[in-house]
Amino acid sequence: MTKKLQILIPLFLLIMLTLSCNLPYRTNPLTAYSDGLIQNYVSRSDPNNLPSYTLSVDQTMVMNETGFPDRFTIQFDRNADRTEIWYYDQMGLNISFKNGSEISRVETNPVLSEALGSTYYLPQNFTKNYSLDDILALTSETGFYLETIQNGIIENGKLVFIKGFSLFFIDNQLRYVETIPIGNAGQ
């Protein structure tokens, strides 16, 4: 019996340690990990097979007129509506879209600074159906910071920071993307 215990106790400890660690083989990083910094995560999504959003006629006209935005935010609501704001900081222009239709243009003061970067992500790279695993595959990132949000208004929320943007998920569905202009720092 002593030899069995000598084998079983280390085996039991090894199993317990494995279950408590943030190991990269887990399938959904939003539910598999506890809050904090996650490193060396290997995505199981294939970036070449991810769906993309098709820009509308209004958005294509804006791209042809002003180029890619310096940064952008995208919000997905429960009704599958897509609200976007494209920021052209150096031009002093913010353009808002609802489901691809332009709804406003706001002129602001141009931001002229050598430290000002721009995103290297594109608005059409993000759809409501993306999982965190999909986004990590798209960006080739293996590290992220995860924080659970639970309060009287939001249940089962997850805030995720990845180099170059922040994401918000509710019930494991992408609800908000905000790019953070880092310019050449991330390339």
Span 103-115, average pLDDT: 86
Span 59-64, average pLDDT: 96
pLDDT class of 129 with cuts at 50, 70, 90: confident
Per-residue model confidence as pLDDT tens digits over 63-76: 999 999 999 999 99
Average pLDDT, whole number, for the chain?
Answer: 84
pLDDT class of 1 with cuts at 50, 70, 90: low
Quote the DSSP letter at residue 186: G
Alpha helices in 21-112 (DSSP H): 29-32, 57-66
Helix (H) or strand (E) holding 135: helix 132-139
Quote the DSSP letter at residue 70: S
pLDDT score for 172: 83
| Residue percentage of the chain with pLDDT more than 90 | 48
pLDDT class of 149 with cuts at 50, 70, 90: confident
Q: Are strands 157-162 and 165-170 parallel, antiparallel or unpaired?
A: antiparallel
pLDDT class of 18 with cuts at 50, 70, 90: low
For residue 187, pLDDT over 50 is answered with no
pLDDT score for 107: 95
Q: Give CA 2 to chain center in angstroms.
A: 52
For residue 61, pLDDT over 70 is answered with yes
pLDDT score for 115: 67
Measured CA to CA, the distance from residue 18 to residue 10 in angstroms comes to: 12
Higher pLDDT, 23 or 113: 113
For residue 92, pLDDT over 90 is answered with yes
pLDDT class of 121 with cuts at 50, 70, 90: confident
